[in-house]
Amino acid sequence: MLNSQLHKYSTPLSTKTLIPWHKPFISGEAAGASFSKHQESKPSKKNKPFRVRYVPGSRIKAVQVTPATTDKATKVVATVIVQVTVGGFLSNLGWKRGLDDITDLFGKSLKLELVAAELDPATGSERETIPAFASRAGREDVDDIKYECKFTIPQNFGEIGAILVENEHRKEMFLKHIELDGFPNGRININCESWVHSKYDNPEKRIFFTSKSFIPSKTPSGLVKYRENELLAQRGDGSGERKESDRIYDYDVYNDIGDPDKNKDLARPVLGGKEHPYPRRCRTGRSRTKEDPLSESRSSFVYVPRDETFSEVKGLTFSAKTIYSVIHAVLPSLENAAIDSGLWDFHTSQPLTHCFNEGVDLGEEPKATLFNLLPRLVKTITDQGKNVLLFETPELLDRDKFAWMKDEEFGRQTLAGLNPYSLRLVTEWPLKSALDPGTYGPAESAITEELVEQQIKGIMTIEEAIKQKKLFILDYHDLLLPYVNKVRELKGTILYGSRTLFFLTPINTLKPVAIELVRPPGKGKPQWKQAYRPGWDATSAWLWKLAKAHVLAHDSGYHQLVSHWQRTHCATEPYIIATNRQLSAIHPIYRLLHPHFRYTMEINALARQALINAGGIIESLFSPGKYSIEFSSVAYDKQWRFDQEGLPADLISRGMAEEDPTVPHGLKLAIEDYPFANDGLILWDIIKMWVTDYVSHYYPESSLVESDEELNAWWKEIRTEGHADKKDEPWWPVLKTPQDLIGILTTIIWVTSGHHAAVNFGQYHYAGYFPNRPTIARTKMPTEDPTEESWKSFELRPEDEILSCFPTQIQATRVMAILDVLSNHSPDEEYIGAEPEPAWADEPIINAAFEVFSGRLKELEGIIDAKNADKNLRNRTGAGVVPYELLKPYSKPGVTGQGVPNSISI
């Protein structure tokens, strides 16, 4: 899959063909073929028929033809907009191209059939479709291709409900838009934005409905069969291996993470099922491995339904291509450079900012290759002719190079950093584990009442602090402890169970007061645990720094594997599959959700191929190592609940808020200056108001929700198939009323937009400088079973101890290269509320509601700017503080630390 964004075409692509061309040669254009020409006029901006998304290729403008009507028939011209693509139809590649030119020459490029919206009232049967062949009609400019045909529509045919399309070529083509012009009441615009397979690959015709949305009970009678058949086609029959051109959505478990046929050490358990509960992914149907009949074999192509793949601007200039190339070209270059120059551990003689100031020499790798992959990072030292990976200075380091050492910043980032989803209110004392003490040792925490009260210096007692909601915790103890002994058997990593306790100061900042690290019994040793506190002397100060490094590695792993991957990417894929299997393309809820699912399935397939796979980036760079994705399954089993995935419910579940109808958003925050929650609740309310307006329009009565068989099948399938391992949980929301539906949809849209933006686009800003968020800890604490020699070494050179604990230079450099790509906004990013879907333009009430939605999002930009200028908000302003902008709705391309895309597209 990793190179599937370049798409696995039957004809090999050369490097040059990956570059958008200015004047693609279209065979047959100069061969004397003549095509009908019609006077053209551009659609007005006000009546824009479809959303334009830049893709290297074409944007075809509509053709207006003067209506020609008679008493008996209406003459209509259909204009089909086809996009020039790199590997599909209209590319300059392969023998099939010549045959397609001949097809064009004889005027049989596309077969269109008009479908009547209603059955024949006289017979109660379907009206016969009206067919015509569209032939090529020239181009608007060098990249714009259009096809036209004429229809004569009988007076009694009635309203047009859809168009059937058959691609007569031997290669797929990308249809953007079809316009029917000539009706007395104006044009009919049909937005396609879809790949259409060749009839030689699949004889089934494609259907594209008009822009009007219908719940099932209100579907025009002539479209009922087409609506049902289209859904049946997209469900498939659950058999066979999927082909690239397929549009089939089906479920499977995560059984393709491991690669036991390549190496038995790369075997991984199947995720999904009783032993390892997990959301489901899209089925590919690849054969099983020889070594493990439960695991699916791996290949360079990973199927995703054809219309879920990246657009060419994203595929050619960004994202999957870049990530794939970074993994397979840049990272090996980095490792070779490290081996050649001995750049493994950081040394006291070398600044930790070496990667930003001097860079890493990549040797003889051609500059063009590296520069095209990482243009922000690869520089050339001109006088020496060397290629140097010189990283852009992350925002955090640029503002305060000592920020990573400060306890104030440590506390602030739990509220306004990369992982604002883990902090919880302490409601009980003493702290205790829920794990079996017979296996993991005594349950009581080493963080004692005396230790805490020493740190809060007599301000209040523990009992008072809990009552006044002053104590908060990062608690990874019970999740990590079962993996500690297993991870310690891996080379170059160490693990503890951990708890970190914070005290809320009068100015709403968090002061870290204690860290507990725990090792369970094992290998003949008893349980070991120790609590550390901010140092009052040199030794305890260094031990505190080391303890923080371990906790930050735990938080980095939890962030990447749970807050980011499992709760957004992984949990969303079942929503996408169910939506395409159970909701027709003309269902209003399908059209509401569709922009929020863009590219997610392909980026997830990429992750399975090279990020979360056995031996991949995550396993090699994060603390749980080979157990990383298995760990995310444990978190899913113990923590994931759909009813707590919406922001208000999430905050309440962690004790970070309580319901209060007298305050904004109906929630009173436990920490008033909580930037993620402050901005997130505004965004949540804006999304919910838009969803409320939308749902209320199509479901004015509760009975319409209960009687909508597609909608109920969709929600049932999400629960029982997509999240099958949770299907019997009592907390699933019921779906009986419009309010139920509003809550479900708001949650899904929040997860794909606000939640994902909050945990993704700040990665380079906060984790690009690895001492601030090390992804792995490589050495144990000096106080764990010390020898006389090891303790003496620590006392003599404590700085060496912390540098040895940090990731190696090569690990840090690999993390920075990947995070730079993952934090990047694509040039064709679609931001929340920026552009309406084409279908909404024809619904005045929906269009007006969207305009309000968009306006509120623009207001949010100003609200966030004003908060970041408020000096009373210490968690978002102050000397050297990075302002909190992760939930600002809009952004320019690149690594900006702001912008909320519609979907999980990276």
Q: Which residues are catalytic?
A: 564, 569, 756, 760, 906
Nearest to 273 by CA among 641, 637, 730: 637
d(Cα 328, Cα 422) in Å, to the nearest integer?
33
DSSP 286: P
- At position 440, the amino acid (one-letter code) is Y
* Half-sphere exposure at residue 653, Cβ-oriented, CA atoms within 13 angstroms: 14
SS3 818: helix
d(Cα 473, Cα 827) in Å, to the nearest integer?
39
Helices (H) and strands (E) in the chain, counts: 32, 21
- The β-bridge relationship of strands 667-669 and 657-659 is antiparallel
Cβ atoms 397, 768 nearer than 8 A:
yes
d(Cα 32, Cα 12) in Å, to the nearest integer?
30
Element (H, E) at 765: helix 763-767
DSSP string for 32-67: T---------PPPSTT--S-----SS--PPP-----
DSSP string for 500-542: EEEEE-TTS-EEEEEEEEEE--BTTB--EEEEE-S-SSHHHHH
Nearest to 480 by CA among 564, 562, 571: 562
d(Cα 901, Cα 474) in Å, to the nearest integer?
29
Q: How far is CA 633 from CA 273, 290, 608, 725, in A?
A: 10, 25, 15, 11
DSSP string for 404-438: GG-HHHHHHHHHHSS-TT--EE--SSS-B--S-HH
d(Cα 477, Cα 515) in Å, to the nearest integer?
11
Element (H, E) at 362: strand 360-363
d(Cα 406, Cα 186) in Å, to the nearest integer?
66
Which segments of 89-140 are extended strands (E)?
Answer: 110-116, 130-136
DSSP string for 825-875: BPTT--BTTSS--HHHHT-HHHHHHHHHHHHHHHHHHHHHHHHHT-TT-TT
Three-state SS for 154-221 is: EHHHCCEEEEEEEECCCCCEEEEEEEEECCCCCCEEEEEEEEECECCCCCCCEEEECCCCCCHHHCCH
**Residue owning tokens 């920075």:** 816
Cβ atoms 186, 198 nearer than 8 A:
no
